[in-house]
Each structure stands twice: as structure tokens, then as C-alpha cells.
Structure 1
């Protein structure tokens, strides 16, 4: 396909998958169970952190974690007692365990006592045109700035400097930042612009993008995600990450 044909093909697939029917079977359904901004942020962040493996398991584990928070995550992190934390000692999802859970809750309390929105963790102290690399590194450093943070928890917060493609956090940022009238992404953050986002590069997206010639790099890491996004910007400079819907849908639903 030439560029014009590729754009037409992918635009059609975006329209097909960027619609409410996409929500129930995807981890994005988790933040959609909430209406308060801070609840959407916390629920979305946890669903993205848990986004390893089968989508059904990710959704179930996310709901289990939020149930332990009384399904009021913002109020919970601001007001939990030591007694309230005990159920989290038995929580586990793949390599995410109770040590990780308790630190995440500790960070959320510390952060929301000082800030209104999690967006500030990706923007405060940075220029409006800061690169996503800089934003994710800034968040990583902020997240682990509290005393006695567990080193083992590093693996759950992707960081470009650690050669990660940062798929999960890029997915979370897509949910929070992208703005359209389709009802899937929330668009509740406004400092970061859609054209600054980096495409989540998971197994399915990676495979389809390579078939379509959007990725040439052999390995899959942060530079691969940058390469993919730069090629998607050639198709839509203002909203390149909308094509995540097309690539993911082609890979998962159509086995392209």
C-alpha cells in the first residue's frame, strides 16, 4: 500500500474500533465504571499497570483491587487506615504483589494530598513542549521519591531510560489525553496534547505495524514506539495515536 491507501485503510479501521462497543472487553472499561475525575485516574492507572496477559484477567484483577478500595479509590487513598490495608496483603497479579500494592497506595495518598489531578505528575515543572521521554522519566522519579520505596516495584512503572517500550503507561496516557466524540478515551487532561502522545506498542500492535511497514527496527523498545508514532504522525499529525485502535483491532480481532 502507498501512503494514501494506508491512511484510508487505517482511518476506516479507527472508525470501526474507536466506538463504545470496544469498551466492555478492554481494560479501558475499568475507568469507565467511574465518573469522578480522580477515580477515573486511579482506576485507569491501576488497570494499565495490570495490563499483562489476557484482557479478561486484567479486567477481573483490576475490579478486585478497586473493590478492596470500596470502589471509591480517591476517597480511599486519602482516608485509609492501617486496618483498611490488611486485605491488600493477599492481593497478587502476576508479579505485582502486596509490597507493590502498599507502595502504590502510599504514593497515591502522598500525591493526592498535595495535588488535584494525576496529570500534574506528568506536567508540573516541565515545559508544555517537553518530550514524552522527559515526562515519563519525571513521573518515574517522582513516583519513587518517597523514603524507603521498594526497589522491586520499579518494574511496574515503565521508564524509557530503562529501554522499555512503556506500552502500559502510553495506553493510560491515551485514555486520559485523547479527545474525540467516540466515548472510548476520556480526554480529561488538557496540558498534554494528543499529538505529543506515543503509541502503545504491545505484541499485537507491533506485529501489525511491522506487516504494514510502520516499524523497521528489529527489537521492540522505546525507540521502536517512537519510530511507530513518527510514522503515524505522517498519517495524522494532530492525533497519531488514534491509530492504536486500528492496529490493535486488526491484531486482536482480525488476526491480521
Structure 2
């Protein structure tokens, strides 16, 4: 495992630079960086599935100033916006829910109200999902996929990849992640497991679980804590790029 750690440490140093997130090596965080805002970042993270060029194209089509507009203005402006499984009414629902939340509190405070009970990021995510659903009740196949379901278990449960990625963006602070939140410990984060990270981690012997789920994400996070107990997710972006660029 010492060879694997040296490989990953080198990749972390290589990737942690201003030029890593660029038009030539796209990532949805490129849009989030432009706005440096927790609500805009959540929109970017939740829509981060599928082809990265299409993700960024869709995100670039959105007017994020609508997060400060009236319900009617949001509905009018977004009536023709859709992305894969999400129809216009799903995009509208997310914007209205986020706008209403911003009027009352912050995503950070809602998350920490759940997280702080037992330092559980899953509890924090559940609190955010419940709050957004309560502020603008809306349900469809596309919207339920977008927000994900509240879960109290890890085995057999979806990896919550987009939510875990959002937390990485908000909590960690380097040239990749934005560190907009405080009071959440990096050691409590769970890796945002995607297919690239899953496959590379299995090939490197970091992950034994064959099923792509939240339990696999927890297992991989625990393994990465052997390399850095306080900040295991510093390896996440490097693992993702290794898989994306087919380096291993």
C-alpha cells in the first residue's frame, strides 16, 4: 500500500493547482467557482451526472440571479430549461426551493443542524433533502432522482455521489475545493463515489466491495483514512482524474 500512497500523493500535488480546472479538462465545479456561492454550487453538484460537456453547457444556460427572484419570475425564465431526466418543472422546483431556503436560513446551517447531532454527513444531507422538499413540495421521477431520497442506511443505498461531492466542495479548501463552510470536519466526509473512482479504486486494491453503493463509498473512505486520517477526501479528485484520463 505504500506504493499506492506515493502514487496518490503525487497525483494530489499534481492536481492541486489553479490550471487543473479549465475548459480543456472540464468539471462542473468550474461553474461553481465563478459564483462562489453555496446555492449555485448545489445546483451545479446535483446536475453533475452524464457527459461533462453537456453538464457544463446546461449549467451555463442557467441564470443564477433567479435565486433572488419571485416564484413567477423563476417559472417564466425556466419554462424551457430541462436536462436529461429533469423537465422544466423540476428545474423550477429546485430554484424555488433554494430561493425560499435562502430567504429563511442557509444551506450550511440546515446541514449542520443534522450533522452536529452525531457528526454524520448523512444526517446533514437528510436534513437538507427534507428541508428543500418541505419548502417547495414537488415530486416526479426526475426531481426525486435530482434530490435523492432520505436514507438511514448504507448497505444497498445509492452512493449519494452528487451530495458527497457538494460537501467536498463546501468543506475542503484548496485549489480545487472552495471551503465556503466552517464547522464541518474534513475527516467526517465520505468520498463521492462515481464510476471512475469506483473502478480505479478496485484496480488499486483500495476497495473490495463489488457493489456501487454508499457502503462502498464508506469502505473506500475508511481505506483512504489510512493515508490521511484527517483529510481522506484530498485523494478523491486525483482518483477521479486517474480514471477519467485512463492513467491506470
- What's the TM-score once normalised by structure 2's chain length? 0.90
CA distance in 1, matches of 2:217, 2:149: 13
What displacement does 1:233 show?
A: 0.7
What residue number does 2:27 align with? 26
Equivalent positions of 1:41-80 (< 5 A) are 41-65=38-62, 67=63, 69=64, 72=65, 76-80=66-70
CA distance in 2, matches of 1:22, 1:158: 29
Aligned: 1:143 with 2:132: yes
Q: 1:134 aligns with which of 99, 114, 123?
A: 123
Unmatched 5+ residue regions in structure 1? Answer: none
Sort the Cα spacing of 1:224 and 1:61 in 2 relative to 1 into closer, same or farther, 3 A: same
What displacement does 1:151 show?
A: 4.3
CA distance in 1, matches of 2:150, 2:196: 20
- What's the TM-score once normalised by structure 1's chain length? 0.87
- DSSP 3-state at the match of 1:150: coil
CA distance in 2, matches of 1:95, 1:174: 25
Sort the Cα spacing of 1:105 and 1:243 in 2 relative to 1 into closer, same or farther, 3 A: same
**Aligned-pair Cα RMSD in Å:** 1.8
Sort the Cα spacing of 1:61 and 1:11 in 2 relative to 1 into closer, same or farther, 3 A: same
- DSSP 3-state at the match of 1:89: coil
What residue number does 1:168 align with? 162
CA distance in 2, matches of 1:19, 1:197: 22
**Aligned residue pair count:** 240
What residue number does 2:242 align with? 250
What residue number does 2:144 align with? 154
Q: For residues 6-60 of structure 1, what are the alpha-carbon distances to aligned partners after superposition, in whole Å with 9 as ceiling and x for unaligned? A: 211110011112222221211110011124xxxx212211111111111111111
Work out whether residues 113 and 124 of structure 2, in 8 Å CA contact, stay in contact via their aligned partners in 1: no
Provide runs of 4+ in structure 1 moved above 3 Å.
none
What residue number does 1:179 align with? 173
What displacement does 1:96 show?
A: 1.3
Equivalent positions of 1:212-223 (< 5 A) are 212-223=204-215
Work out whether residues 129 and 148 of structure 2, in 8 Å CA contact, stay in contact via their aligned partners in 1: yes
CA distance in 1, matches of 2:196, 2:84: 20
CA distance in 1, matches of 2:4, 2:135: 47
Q: For residues 125-161 of structure 1, what are the alpha-carbon distances to aligned partners after superposition, in whole Å with 9 as ceiling and x for unaligned? A: 5426421222222222222123642243221113462
Q: 1:14 aligns with which of 3, 12, 20?
A: 12
Work out whether residues 67 and 99 of structure 2, in 8 Å CA contact, stay in contact via their aligned partners in 1: yes
CA distance in 2, matches of 1:84, 1:151: 19
- DSSP 3-state at the match of 1:144: helix
